[in-house]
Amino acid sequence: MEIQMIMEDKDFTIDERYQELLQTILDFGKDKKDRTGTGTKSIFGYTIRWDMTQGFPLLTTKKMPMKTIATELKWFLKGDTNIKYLVDNGCNIWNGDAYKRYADIECNPPHDHSLSQKEFIDNIKNSDKFAEKWGELGPIYGKQWRDWTEYYVEKFNGGNPIIVERTKDQIANLIEELKTNPDSRRLMVSAWNVGDLSTMTLPPCHYGFQVYTRELTYDERNLLYFKKFGETVEDTDAKWELNTTDAFEDDLNKSGIPKRAISLMFNMRSVDVPLGLPFNIASYGLLLEIIAKEVNMIPDELIANLGDTHIYKNQIDGIKEQMTREPMKLPKLLFKDHLNDFDSIIDILRVNDFILDGYESHPSIKMPLSN
């Protein structure tokens, strides 16, 4: 039977789209072996689209750790690849990967640990020297986003090429291109550096993203103006005919009303739907909000392209519980006013510089992590 993808429909909440994906895997997923030995039910190729104007895409059918999500994203944007920043800020999602690397290298035979994972993390937290040696995860997301290494031929010397190494800041390049050439079809960031895969603790699951912008219509900008200055939709109706002049368009520009909308599409090779995907959707939703604010555009659409999309068999009970829960109203993501004083926020943004307005959810559901 053909697998149906959820397409754009404002009657669906992000929770309902997510639950539809879970049901699709339960109904049509193929039994597969995996590197963890747990076993999965899996489908290949699925797309979820979300209209960001309908609310911030944070699941409500289970409580989501937004601070943890934001801390990891900040870590990526810092270009960091050492877990110490995460540990110091209460984000523990990469602890197991760092500990596994320590156990495989330091202990003989592997997994005959000289330190427990708790002791290992305590050492990361309390010893800069230990963290420098054992907290490093290799050239993963932050390195690729902010410091991609490339090699090129600078010149020839007696017929022999002189190879030069240089780095590129993909995020900075993306922001600059959005400001100067927003219709480009090259607005992309990749974490999949084939030459670095062998030295990464874990090859990237979400391996790249692309953004797309469009011009806002006059009516869209007009509505943004009235929302910004406290007017209601009803108030705008009476004024609509009065505000269709070139003079009012000048007012829109002087008031800083965005001229463009921006969408983001992220791609995943491997998708742990119960644990990873809700996290990834919220993380890229936050990244889209940050980029949009950085370049004075409005977030438009978030799109997830999913490759091997699976649930682990030991997660099925938790999934079925979550699917019985009624979705709640989605929150809005707001940036604190002091950020308006800066021309650029992407490198100074802190985890507590935004507010989730109106987030309510069902309790969290503990599901096994297979790694």
Does 355 fall in a domain? yes
Could you tell me the pLDDT band of residue 247, with boundaries at 50, 70 and 90? low
Q: How many CA atoms lie within 13 A of 29 on its CB side?
A: 24
Region of 85 on the Ramachandran plot (φ > 0 left; ψ -120 to 50 alpha; else beta) = alpha
Task: Kindly tell me if the per-residue pLDDT of 111 is higher than 60.
Answer: no
Between 151 and 32, the more confident residue is 32
Say if 83 falls within a structural domain.
no
CA distances from 147 to 76, 144, 155, 164, 208 (A): 11, 5, 23, 15, 15
* Number of alpha helices (DSSP H) and beta strands (DSSP E) in the chain: 13, 10
Q: Is 107 a catalytic residue?
A: no
Mean pLDDT of the chain: 89
Separation CA 209–CA 305 (nearest Å):
10
Helix (H, G, I), strand (E, B) or coil at 46: strand
Q: Which domain holds residue 321?
A: 1-65+170-216+258-366
The pLDDT confidence band at residue 110, using thresholds 50, 70 and 90, is low
Is 75 a member of any domain? no
Phi, psi dihedrals of residue 88, rounded to the nearest 5° = -65, -20
pLDDT class of 99 with cuts at 50, 70, 90:
very high
**69: three-class secondary structure by DSSP:** helix
Query: Does residue 343 belong to any structural domain of this protein?
Result: yes
CATH, residue 357: 3.30.572.10
Q: Which one of the listed residues 205, 224, 328, 345 is annotated catalytic? A: 205
Please check the confidence at residue 237 and state whether its pLDDT lies above 70.
Answer: no
pTM of the model: 0.90
User: Which residue is listed with tokens 């002087």?
Assistant: 254
The number of folded domains in the chain is: 1
> How confident is the model at residue 324, as a pLDDT?
95
| 82 is a domain residue | no
Question: What CA–CA distance (Å, rounded) separates 15 from 62?
Answer: 10
Q: Is residue 155 part of a domain?
A: no
Of 252, 264, 129, 145, give the one whose Cα is nearest residue 209.
264
- Which letter does DSSP use for residue 309 in this model? E
In a domain, 165, yes or no: no
> Rounded CA gap, 136 and 86, in Å?
12
- CB contact burial 345-366 (16+ within 10 A = b; e otherwise): bbeebebeebebeebebbeebe
Tell me the percentage of the chain whose pLDDT exceeds 70. 88
Q: Is the pLDDT of residue 371 over 70?
A: no
179-193 pLDDT tens trace: 999 999 999 999 999
Burial of 285 (0-12, 13-18, 19+ CB in 10 A): buried
- Determine the straight-line distance between the first and last CA of the chain, rounded to whole angstroms: 31
- Hey, is 283 helix, strand or coil? helix
Secondary structure element (H or E) that encloses residue 156, with its range? strand 148-157
pLDDT, mean of residues 335-342:
90
* Distant-in-sequence contacts of 196-202, Cβ < 8 A, 24+ apart: 196/138, 196/139, 196/143, 196/144, 196/149, 199/138, 199/139, 200/137, 200/138, 200/139, 200/140, 201/97, 201/98, 201/100, 201/101, 201/137, 201/138, 201/140, 202/97, 202/137, 202/140
Instruction: Please check whether residue 94 lies inside any domain of the structure.
Output: no
